[in-house]
Chain A
Amino acid sequence: MSAETSPRGGLRDLKKIFGGGSSNVRQFGILFSLIAIILLFQFLTNGLTLSSGNLINLVSQYSYILILAIGMVMVIIAGHIDLSVGSIAAFAGIVVATAMQEWNLPWPLAILLGLVVGALIGAWQGFWVAYIGVPAFIVTLAGMLIWRGGNQVIGNANTVPVPDGFTVIGSGYLPEVGPFTGYNNLTLLLGLVIAAAVVLVEWRARRVQKIMGSDPAPLWVSILKVVLLDAVVIYATVLFAGGRAGTSFPVSGIILGVLVLFYSFITRNTIFGRHVYAVGGNKLAAELSGVKSRRVNFLVMMNMSILASLAGMIFVARSVASGPQDGLSWELDAIAAVFIGGAAVSGGIGTVTGSIVGGLVMAVLNNGLQLLGVGADRVQIIKGLVLLIAVGVDVWNKSQGRPSLIGFLTRKSKTGEFPSEPPAVIPTSGTPDSARPSDNPS
């Protein structure tokens, strides 16, 4: 019996990168699409796509959209939407920039101020959504107008420059330390730490499976998985560390990485995370299980605004100034990333890592098309079609009652290994005595 309980096979194991839930298949498909798109552009741009400079650009150009996607996926899992993130980003950005310019606020305090502004805005919007019951679509549509207007009132529709120290979070890189190696030493170190962590995580997972009495996947699967993942990590490390002097892994990428780890953990491993899925999946059932759905909705909306203000500050830091156009249509990029990453419009489904992969699909697509010199007008058309097709294929597959192509392949490999139906332990009907629980009191 326990043989069926543990997933097997390289493909099925790799899917574990994305954690549990029934949306695995979908996200696995998106990961393959991402790899395919990267390889396609790598070919079309004669290797520019996976060059040091471009990878570094990619991370710093899209880190803030991906940060928004983290918050957005939680909002969408809970069954809401947030249209105001771009405006909140712009508002927090202008407040922070003005505070540093007018009051000479030191930049670390300014970042803190920006987060507080985000939290207050989030509390305001969360209050309307959770406690008054106004649909998030309306509340955040209002917020979209309010905070955009707020940006222009505070900044007089002007561009406000920010001091150099502050720009670290948007355009800073890991500094050069230690002896000259031809690479950025800190980036190398970071890469090695991640590579080691991959090994450690897999080893721990195997140990936990053993302790729980289920057979872990065969050792060669684990080794293959670790080698593949570490090969990617090390290849990326070498690229990031070997860029033009003065550049290395971007600070904004590190912020993003920390947030991805943190929020993956929150959504997967904490009571709060479970409650978010529960409220989005079936609000009534969640409430009847003792979940305080209003509190969950409030916190999810508030969290989104805090992340939006952080994204806004990173953009301002990268642009070395806060402007009236900051954050325009970011909400659409973030929402697209989340849906490409496998979330459901009706809520209850979605993962942080899936959304990051979805966001990367859009980012690589955008970047690759720009490298090819495709105009911004055509890029928009292509992005729109990709979003439609990605979600369309998924919906169509669901309505046909079969999983995506990748899911189909992995299912085949599974049924090849063992019967899809477990042997019946007890007959579903028949003589009542045989179905009687063994420890039945008499």
Chain B
Amino acid sequence: MSTDPIILEMRSITKEFPGVKALSNVSLTVRAGEIHAICGENGAGKSTLMKVLSGVYPYGTYSGDIVYQGEVMHFKDIRSSEAAGIAIIHQELALIPELSITENIFLGNEPTRWGAIDWITAKKTALDLLARVGLRDDPDTLIKNIGVGKQQLVEIAKALNKSVKVLILDEPTAALNEADSQHLLDLIRGLKGKGISSIMISHKLNEIEQVADSITIIRDGLTIETLDVVADGVNEDRIIRGMVGRSLESRFPDRTPHIGDVFFEVRNWNVQHPQVAERMVVKNSSLTVRKGEIVGIAGLMGAGRTELAMSIFGRSYGNFLSGTMFKDGKEIQLRNVAEAIDHGLAYVSEDRKALGLNLLDDIKRSIVSAKLTKISAGPVVNDSKEYAIAESYRTSLRIKTPSVDAGVNKLSGGNQQKVVLAKWMFTDPDLLILDEPTRGIDVGAKYEIYGIIQQLAAQGKGVILISSELPELLGLADRIYTVFEGAITDCIPAETADPETLMKSMTSARKKVQSI
């Protein structure tokens, strides 16, 4: 295998965003006809690397070389990489639901005859391609009428039509069930037999172990190692060690927890997907929070962490099915966000820009926006109080801005996050749910936000901390729940938790929930 010729080589790729170095000297070597997996935590730089390769970040916005079939390539957009034979299939499928399979396959690449689309040729070719990916549906079927698994296959057919040599799959099985996943993996293996190389990003380590020939592990924007699955005898534990192997020292402020009694509890929580009724996004989950405690929730992307948090926060996600909630010993029902806020809950969303802030607003208005009644006389907002409160948070949280009159869109990610935290601290909550509070934030600001979180706990508030970064959870949380496929799989006290055990519980449902 390792004697196959090298088809693609990425040499010392470095890619910077304002304030963040996403990739630093990353190298990747792919041989012809192999399946090459890329592993790493969320935010390690996998997707960025693939975007560089596929021309989403065009030549010139990164440093380093892409050598493909012996030539240095200068891709200026996706079209140019596709023309060379490199196709990317994104996590969110790029298909148009109201068009047919044929129309989607040939979208932007329609065969024409005298200026008109030649549907006969198109349909014939489509049938061929569908046969190659093992899909027996009528090519006139609309995309919206076939399942996600089949849609994934149509995407691959679309790539094959462009005579692809390197296929990039970003979390291809994330949305698929067991049978569909297996079919897809078989197909990728089949393509390998026809000389097509695949680069696969996946969190499902068992799948990687099953199909990959070699694995490159990326961590914090650096290439850690490249493993040959057969020669190095790779298994899941080996991969996890590579992914999380990082020292945790001195990244978190010191803290002595003062943990009180359980004051918040959720029992047997069940929530359906808002559109797809048969899909359960939260399954029979129970958790408890004590006063002054930081409770971590660990889970991979799509495991149902955010869904759980938002459904607790006034049923703001999904269709609530069943479950009970207790606060301070009394059962409570939170039917909407306003009630959740009134009962002392706060939720800092993972998507700051889409869900956390009104980017058109200024800082002072954003800070008071979740509890305007607190600074109002009847319906009238008191501007002076608003200003004074915003000023006090600016000082105490060290929000870096010339004025609280400035728009939040002018702030850096870290300072925006501080505004969001201030907004929820202003509601004076008993329980704060923080969903990825440090995503996309530089190291200095992260440290400050850790300090704020610990401070909130020290004031006796309960904190639920959702994070994809295991070191963050291990460094901050007193107790960590793991979530897999909508269900809580484990609850591990911080003293006994380590990245390996967490990762195991996050990637399988092997343990029973222990209630504490």
Direct contact of A and B (CB under 8 A): yes
Question: Which residues of A are at the interface with B, using a C-beta cutoff of 8 A?
Answer: 4-7, 20-22, 208, 211-212, 269-274, 277-278, 281-282, 284-292, 344, 348-349, 421-422, 424-430, 432, 435-437, 439-442
Query: Which interface class (under 10, 10 to 19, 20 to 34, 35 or more) fits B?
Result: 35 or more
- Please tell me which one of the listed residues B403, B409, B458 contacts residue A5 in the complex, with CB atoms under 8 A apart: B403
Q: Would you give 28 A-B contacts (Cβ < 8 Å), ordered by A? A: A4-B403, A5-B391, A5-B405, A6-B403, A20-B362, A20-B405, A212-B391, A271-B376, A271-B379, A274-B369, A274-B381, A278-B361, A282-B355, A282-B358, A284-B355, A285-B349, A285-B354, A285-B357, A287-B337, A290-B341, A422-B401, A426-B400, A429-B442, A432-B250, A432-B444, A436-B447, A437-B451, A440-B455
The answer for the CA separation of A177 and B510 in the assembled complex, in Å, is 90
CB 8 Å contact bits of B429-456 with A (1 = contact, 0 = none) = 0000000000000111101100110110
The answer for the CA separation of A270 and B383 in the assembled complex, in Å, is 10
Q: Is the CB of A441 within 8 A of B454?
A: yes
Closest 8 CB pairs of A and B: A281-B358, A429-B444, A441-B458, A4-B402, A289-B370, A290-B338, A281-B360, A5-B403
User: Which residues of chain A are within 8 angstroms of B355 by Cβ–Cβ distance?
Assistant: 282, 284-285, 288
The answer for the CA separation of A290 and B339 in the assembled complex, in Å, is 8
Identify 12 new A-B residue pairs, CB closer than 8 A, beyond the known A212-B384, A271-B376, A435-B448.
A7-B405, A22-B362, A208-B384, A271-B380, A278-B369, A287-B337, A288-B316, A425-B400, A430-B444, A436-B447, A440-B451, A442-B255
Is B499's beta carbon under 8 Å from chain A?
no
Is B365's beta carbon under 8 Å from chain A?
yes
Q: Is the CB of A212 within 8 A of B388?
A: yes
Is B119's beta carbon under 8 Å from chain A?
no
Is B387's beta carbon under 8 Å from chain A?
yes
The answer for the CA separation of A164 and B454 in the assembled complex, in Å, is 72
User: Which residues of chain B are within 8 angstroms of A344 by Cβ–Cβ distance?
Assistant: 360
User: Which residues of chain B are within 8 angstroms of A208 by Cβ–Cβ distance?
Assistant: 383-384
From residue 355 to 377 of chain B, which have CB atoms closer than 8 A to chain A? 355-362, 365, 369-373, 376
> Of all chain B residues, which has the CB nearest A211?
B384
Is B393's beta carbon under 8 Å from chain A?
no
Q: Is the CB of A348 within 8 A of B360?
A: yes
For A274, A422, A430, the residue with the greatest tally of chain B CB atoms inside 10 Å of its CB is A274
The answer for the CA separation of A274 and B365 in the assembled complex, in Å, is 8
Q: Is the CB of A427 within 8 A of B444?
A: yes
Q: Is the CB of B455 within 8 A of A272?
A: no
- Please tell me which one of the listed residues A286, A291, A425 contacts residue B398 in the complex, with CB atoms under 8 A apart: A425
User: Which residues of chain A are within 8 angstroms of B359 by Cβ–Cβ distance?
Assistant: 281-282
Smallest CB separation, A411 vs chain B (Å)? 13
The answer for the CA separation of A291 and B414 in the assembled complex, in Å, is 25
CB 8 Å contact bits of B82-96 with A (1 = contact, 0 = none) = 000000000000000
CB 8 Å contact bits of B343-361 with A (1 = contact, 0 = none) = 0000101000011111111
Q: Is the CB of A282 within 8 A of B357?
A: yes
Is B515's beta carbon under 8 Å from chain A?
no
> Of all chain A residues, which has the CB nearest B444?
A429
The answer for the CA separation of A232 and B39 in the assembled complex, in Å, is 69
Is B53's beta carbon under 8 Å from chain A?
no
Instruction: Report if A290-B402 is in contact (Cβ < 8 Å); known contacts: A269-B380, A269-B383, A428-B445.
Output: no
Q: Is the CB of A286 within 8 A of B443?
A: no
Is B256's beta carbon under 8 Å from chain A?
yes
Chief secondary structure at chain A's binding surface: loop
- Please tell me which one of the listed residues A269, A348, A422 contacts residue B358 in the complex, with CB atoms under 8 A apart: A348
User: Which residues of chain B are within 8 angstroms of A277 by Cβ–Cβ distance?
Assistant: 358, 360-361, 365
User: Which residues of chain A are within 8 angstroms of B452 by Cβ–Cβ distance?
Assistant: 437
- Please tell me which one of the listed residues B340, B360, B454 contacts residue A440 in the complex, with CB atoms under 8 A apart: B454
- Please tell me which one of the listed residues A269, A281, A422, A432 contacts residue B447 in the complex, with CB atoms under 8 A apart: A432
The answer for the CA separation of A290 and B427 in the assembled complex, in Å, is 11
Is B254's beta carbon under 8 Å from chain A?
yes
Smallest CB separation, A124 vs chain B (Å)? 25
For B316, B347, B412, B447, the residue with the greatest tally of chain A CB atoms inside 10 Å of its CB is B447
User: Which residues of chain A are within 8 angstroms of B423 by Cβ–Cβ distance?
Assistant: 289
Smallest CB separation, A248 vs chain B (Å)? 33
The answer for the CA separation of A284 and B369 in the assembled complex, in Å, is 13
Q: Is the CB of A285 within 8 A of B358?
A: yes
Smallest CB separation, B97 vs chain A (Å)? 20
Smallest CB separation, A184 vs chain B (Å)? 34
Is B407's beta carbon under 8 Å from chain A?
yes
For B340, B361, B371, B373, the residue with the greatest tally of chain A CB atoms inside 10 Å of its CB is B361
Instruction: Report if A439-B455 is in contact (Cβ < 8 Å); known contacts: A284-B354, A285-B354, A425-B400.
Output: yes
User: Which residues of chain B are within 8 angstroms of A271 by Cβ–Cβ distance?
Assistant: 372-373, 376, 379-381
User: Which residues of chain A are within 8 angstroms of B458 by Cβ–Cβ distance?
Assistant: 441
User: Which residues of chain A are within 8 angstroms of B356 by Cβ–Cβ distance?
Assistant: 285, 288
The answer for the CA separation of A289 and B367 in the assembled complex, in Å, is 11
Smallest CB separation, B459 vs chain A (Å)? 9
Q: Is the CB of A428 within 8 A of B384?
A: no
Is B253's beta carbon under 8 Å from chain A?
yes
The answer for the CA separation of A299 and B397 in the assembled complex, in Å, is 36
User: Which residues of chain B are within 8 angstroms of A435 by Cβ–Cβ distance?
Assistant: 444, 447-448
Is B404's beta carbon under 8 Å from chain A?
yes
Instruction: Report if A282-B354 is in contact (Cβ < 8 Å); known contacts: A271-B372, A424-B400.
Output: yes
Smallest CB separation, B137 vs chain A (Å)? 33
User: Which residues of chain A are within 8 angstroms of B314 by Cβ–Cβ distance?
Assistant: 290
Q: Is the CB of B358 within 8 A of A286?
A: yes
For B337, B396, B452, the residue with the greatest tally of chain A CB atoms inside 10 Å of its CB is B337
- Please tell me which one of the listed residues A270, A285, A425 contacts residue B380 in the complex, with CB atoms under 8 A apart: A270
Smallest CB separation, B451 vs chain A (Å)? 4
The answer for the CA separation of A424 and B409 in the assembled complex, in Å, is 19
User: Which residues of chain A are within 8 angstroms of B388 by Cβ–Cβ distance?
Assistant: 212
Smallest CB separation, B485 vs chain A (Å)? 25
Q: Is the CB of A21 within 8 A of B370?
A: no
Smallest CB separation, B235 vs chain A (Å)? 36
The answer for the CA separation of A348 and B359 in the assembled complex, in Å, is 9
For A6, A289, A429, the residue with the greatest tally of chain B CB atoms inside 10 Å of its CB is A289
Q: Is the CB of B337 within 8 A of A288?
A: yes
Q: Is the CB of A287 within 8 A of B376?
A: no
Smallest CB separation, A292 vs chain B (Å)? 7
The answer for the CA separation of A255 and B137 in the assembled complex, in Å, is 67
Smallest CB separation, B61 vs chain A (Å)? 18
User: Which residues of chain B are within 8 angstroms of A288 by Cβ–Cβ distance?
Assistant: 313, 316, 337, 347, 349, 355-356
> Of all chain B residues, which has the CB nearest A21?
B362
Smallest CB separation, A344 vs chain B (Å)? 8
The answer for the CA separation of A424 and B400 in the assembled complex, in Å, is 7
User: Which residues of chain B are within 8 angstroms of A290 by Cβ–Cβ distance?
Assistant: 314, 336-338, 340-341, 370-371
Q: Is the CB of A22 within 8 A of B360?
A: yes
From residue 448 to 479 of chain B, which have CB atoms closer than 8 A to chain A? 448, 451-452, 454-455, 458
> Of all chain B residues, which has the CB nearest A419?
B402
User: Which residues of chain A are within 8 angstroms of B250 by Cβ–Cβ distance?
Assistant: 432
The answer for the CA separation of A424 and B444 in the assembled complex, in Å, is 13
The answer for the CA separation of A428 and B412 in the assembled complex, in Å, is 10
The answer for the CA separation of A270 and B365 in the assembled complex, in Å, is 12
Q: Is the CB of A426 within 8 A of B354?
A: no
User: Which residues of chain A are within 8 angstroms of B442 by Cβ–Cβ distance?
Assistant: 428-429
> Of all chain A residues, which has the CB nearest B447?
A432
User: Which residues of chain A are within 8 angstroms of B336 by Cβ–Cβ distance?
Assistant: 290, 292
User: Which residues of chain B are within 8 angstroms of A4 by Cβ–Cβ distance?
Assistant: 402-403
User: Which residues of chain B are within 8 angstroms of A7 by Cβ–Cβ distance?
Assistant: 405
Q: Is the CB of B405 within 8 A of A292?
A: no
The answer for the CA separation of A231 and B49 in the assembled complex, in Å, is 64
User: Which residues of chain B are within 8 angstroms of A273 by Cβ–Cβ distance?
Assistant: 381
The answer for the CA separation of A439 and B392 in the assembled complex, in Å, is 14
- Please tell me which one of the listed residues A5, A20, A287 contacts residue B402 in the complex, with CB atoms under 8 A apart: A5
The answer for the CA separation of A78 and B245 in the assembled complex, in Å, is 49
CB 8 Å contact bits of B491-507 with A (1 = contact, 0 = none) = 00000000000000000
Q: Is the CB of A428 within 8 A of B444?
A: yes
The answer for the CA separation of A278 and B398 in the assembled complex, in Å, is 25
- Please tell me which one of the listed residues A270, A291, A421 contacts residue B381 in the complex, with CB atoms under 8 A apart: A270
> Of all chain B residues, which has the CB nearest A279?
B358
Instruction: Report if A436-B253 is in contact (Cβ < 8 Å); known contacts: A274-B381, A288-B316.
Output: yes
